[in-house]
Structure 1
Amino acid sequence: MTMTKAGEAEVAMQSLMEAGARALHGDDGAWPARRRRIIDWLVLETRGERFIDNIFVEMCRKLVEAGIPVARASLHFRIHHPQWLGARILWRKGLTEAEIDTYAYGVEDTSQYLNSPLRGFNEGAEEVRRHLDDPAADGPDYPLYDELRADGLTDYIIWPLYHTLGKRHAITFASDRPGGFSPDDTAFLMDILPALALVSEIRLKNRFARTLLETYVGPHASEQILAGAITRGSGVTVGAAILICDLRDFTRLSDLWPRDDVIDLLNGYFDALSEPIERHGGEILKFMGDGLLAIFPLSDPCACGNLLGAIGEAQVALARLNEENVSKGHDPLGYGIGVHVGDVMYGNIGSHKRLDFTVIGPAVNIASRLESLTKELQHPVLLSRAFVERAGCAATLENLGFHPLRGLDEPVEVFALSGSK
């Protein structure tokens, strides 16, 4: 059968393209060598980089240098965080930094997620792929695909990124080359995934350990623990303004209210207190049932003023919370706050196997006794003379005189916030 000139030209062009691909992809070993360099870099040369987003950006840059037509890539991690279900790290060609977005719990019920290719992937698919420049391509045409086409992208792939014990995250790659990724391109990309999985899992678990500590002991104590303060008795003496708060009649409320309402009550109460404390530089060391212990280290010259500012904002927030409780038919919440200043031992206390990172000392005891005294004196906030002198705020407070405190030989001069009875 005689071939037409058009057919001969097509065969010649195909042969030329195949020769170019062989030259680029590795009959001479160049393609495997480029892939090996990226894998070796991931495994051996990223040890000094703490953040996975920086590693991911550099990896994408190296892929482009190696001839892989990656124009967009993203990592999607499920993370252990009290506020966020997951996070996305997004890189685009030409950028030197990644975009990082977090996703709140409940995102999987939103239309944005339900109308995205990640939904199908999370339902168990090992690959989701769309040739964006092929109008006849099979499968649903998600809104994301229109956005990618508008950005000039031609191919989009989602693959799993497996961590230990089958923990499954996602990685995406998109191309802007006509026709998208070739089989050699996808093989190249898939070959580097095990190394990226190893590197990303280490960073993710390091971040998880830090988040876990910050969640349960606070940012300052977590830094101490991560720096090696993990033996019983390890710690330092620090000067601090101390705040102890307790919810009134919690036992009665927990007996009368449904369980879920009690949990909502406590969460709202702690939000009203915690957010102002943290915003003003305080460190919440522990929640004690319906109580809270926080310190404002005196290394900050404004510590006492910051504590007073936090109390003022917390009282406004608690008043709003009580308005909501009353509108629901509940009694308003009462509370007591005791404030003192002094040296505290800040460190690890407990048994051989179970430790608590906290503060102890006479100054903490006095703050606790002042909090208890609020019930007797019918003032929600009581402050010691020592704190008032340190803060220089006596003129704005009500002097309630001297009062005996349990465990102390001498009575303590006590002040209350004016008008807060």
Structure 2
Amino acid sequence: MQVPSSATAGLHQEAADAPLGDSSGVIEWLMTETRDDRFIDNIFVEMCERLNRAGIPVSRGTLHFRILHPQWLGARILWQRGMKEGDIQTFGFAIEDSDRYRNRPVNEIHSGAQIVRQRLEPAFSVNAPPYTLYDELRAQGHTDYIAWPLKHTLGKQHIITFGSDRPGGFSDDDIAALSDLLPAFALVSEIRLKNRLARTLLETYVGPHASEQILAGATTRGSGVTVGAAILICDLRDFTGISDMWPRDDVIELLNGYFDAMAEPIERHGGEILKFMGDGLLAIFPLSNTNASRDLLAAIREAQTAMAALNEENVKKGHEPLGYGIGVHVGDVMYGNIGSRSRLDFTVIGPTVNVASRLESLTKEIKRPVLLSRAFVEIAGCEAKMENVGSHLLRGLSEPIDVFAF
């Protein structure tokens, strides 16, 4: 923590002579009037604006929080005077090893400091730590900076910062008013962050549409709806042999690369991956989207290109190229909860899924990586572009079906 010296008493007195701010009204607003506000960034922006109206000269505010996300370590919300919306920026896991992170005052909070305060006017700059942020804030006209840990339950800690552009910076009363605000804002922000965390975790593990259904209350075993959908099932070839012979970390890297190549095009074209099954995946393209079948084909094309690039890298590393099989069918499926009384899976079941699975298995026999049913190619209007590889009797079916290769 940096504190003013006696040589700067004039500036300190100038801030002290400013009108006294009172955060009690802002605290009451946080506790009683934000219950219907879903997003913490909107609450944070309005809070900063209300602080100004209450006489506390906040010209800048940031909220830094850690999140549980497969791609991001955390995020930052920035507000500056005149902004109507907060600027949200996410940070990857590598940020903690970067000079950019180490050369920031918030790192002091992560290291255990309970407050960081730096006056930014020239008289206070002589002994200021050489953080580039301080230079940036001075150039923007800010005169003061203060940061606190924002403490949530069970030891979870985030960071909140405020800047001022008033000559002399924050007064002692301003700082006391901001400090009084922190417990109320911690409560309000924890609720929103945990709601967002729950949604993020569900989206990560079951997909965006299924997560919406679950959060809306679809948690009863047997609950679900019948939907028309194109079904894609994909499986990696010879994975058992690979997992037996390769080192564990190499196997994990291989699987992640394979799933990236397959999954990213599916999600980019509107498909939803319901589950990863060892070295396979199950995805649906709901027919409520009139372009679902064309989107599925576009996803397969991009996945094939991505797999070709991945195999080039594998060959350079001395590995054999990866093979895969994809089966595609279309029809009605039951979309909902199945499982035991206490452990459920939100998935799709029905004959349509079974046919897609059998087509995927058939790719091993006829040595074609992508097989589609006649029902699908007719809906997609692409029969002329596909190769008819004959009629095949699939396990569990009483009649053979026409199969096409892509």
- TM-score when scaled to structure 1? 0.91
Aligned partner of 2:307 in structure 1 is: 318
Q: What SS does the aligned partner of 1:347 have?
A: strand
Q: What SS does the aligned partner of 1:369 have?
A: helix
Q: Given the alignment of the two structures, is residue 36 of structure 1 paired with residue 27 of structure 2, yes or no?
A: no
The 2-side partners of 1:138 and 1:44 are apart by: 43
How many residues in Structure 1 have an aligned counterpart in Structure 2?
Answer: 395
The 1-side partners of 2:381 and 2:155 are apart by: 59
The 1-side partners of 2:72 and 2:38 are apart by: 21
Q: What SS does the aligned partner of 2:166 have?
A: coil
1:244-283 equivalence runs, <5 A:
244-283=233-272
The 2-side partners of 1:196 and 1:137 are apart by: 34
Any gaps of 5 or more consecutive residues in structure 1? 1-9, 26-30
> Could you tell me how far 1:136 is from its partner in structure 2?
5.2
1:330-369 equivalence runs, <5 A:
330-369=319-358
Alignment equivalent of 1:299, drawn from 260, 268, 288: 288
> Could you tell me how far 1:360 is from its partner in structure 2?
0.1
Alignment equivalent of 1:193, drawn from 177, 182, 185: 182
> Could you tell me how far 1:141 is from its partner in structure 2?
2.1
Q: Which range moved further: 164-173 or 341-350?
A: 164-173
8 Å CA contact retained: 1:383, 1:415: yes
Task: Give the partner amino acid of 1:401.
Answer: G
Aligned partner of 1:60 in structure 2 is: 48
The 2-side partners of 1:43 and 1:137 are apart by: 41
Aligned partner of 1:173 in structure 2 is: 162
> Could you tell me how far 1:137 is from its partner in structure 2?
5.2
The 1-side partners of 2:105 and 2:254 are apart by: 39
Cα distance, 1:242–1:17 mapped onto 2, change above 3 Å: closer
The 2-side partners of 1:135 and 1:58 are apart by: 31
Q: Given the alignment of the two structures, is residue 125 of structure 1 paired with residue 113 of structure 2, yes or no?
A: yes
The 2-side partners of 1:240 and 1:222 are apart by: 18
Task: Give the partner amino acid of 2:381.
Answer: G
Aligned partner of 1:390 in structure 2 is: 379
Q: Given the alignment of the two structures, is residue 141 of structure 1 paired with residue 130 of structure 2, yes or no?
A: yes
Q: What SS does the aligned partner of 2:395 have?
A: coil
> Could you tell me how far 1:135 is from its partner in structure 2?
3.6
Cα distance, 1:371–1:310 mapped onto 2, change above 3 Å: same
8 Å CA contact retained: 1:131, 1:137: no
Aligned-residue RMSD, C-alpha: 1.6
The 2-side partners of 1:128 and 1:388 are apart by: 64
8 Å CA contact retained: 1:155, 1:174: yes
Q: What SS does the aligned partner of 2:100 have?
A: helix
Task: Give the partner amino acid of 1:75.
Answer: L
Q: Can you list the C-alpha shifts for 1:139-183, whole angstroms capped at 9, x where unaligned?
A: 422111100100111111110100001211101011111211111
8 Å CA contact retained: 1:243, 1:337: yes
> Could you tell me how far 1:297 is from its partner in structure 2?
0.4
The 2-side partners of 1:194 and 1:82 are apart by: 29
The 1-side partners of 2:171 and 2:214 are apart by: 49
Task: Give the partner amino acid of 1:138.
Answer: N
Seq. identity, %: 71
The 2-side partners of 1:385 and 1:182 are apart by: 75
The 2-side partners of 1:136 and 1:50 are apart by: 40
Alignment equivalent of 2:194, drawn from 178, 181, 205: 205
Q: Can you list the C-alpha shifts for 1:242-281, whole angstroms capped at 9, x where unaligned?
A: 0000000000000111100100100000000111101111
Q: Given the alignment of the two structures, is residue 74 of structure 1 paired with residue 48 of structure 2, yes or no?
A: no
Q: What SS does the aligned partner of 1:70 have?
A: coil
8 Å CA contact retained: 1:57, 1:97: yes
8 Å CA contact retained: 1:130, 1:137: no
**Larger radius of gyration, structure 1 or 2?**
1
Task: Give the partner amino acid of 1:191.
Answer: D
Alignment equivalent of 1:216, drawn from 205, 225, 230: 205
Aligned partner of 1:3 in structure 2 is: none
The 1-side partners of 2:214 and 2:104 are apart by: 41
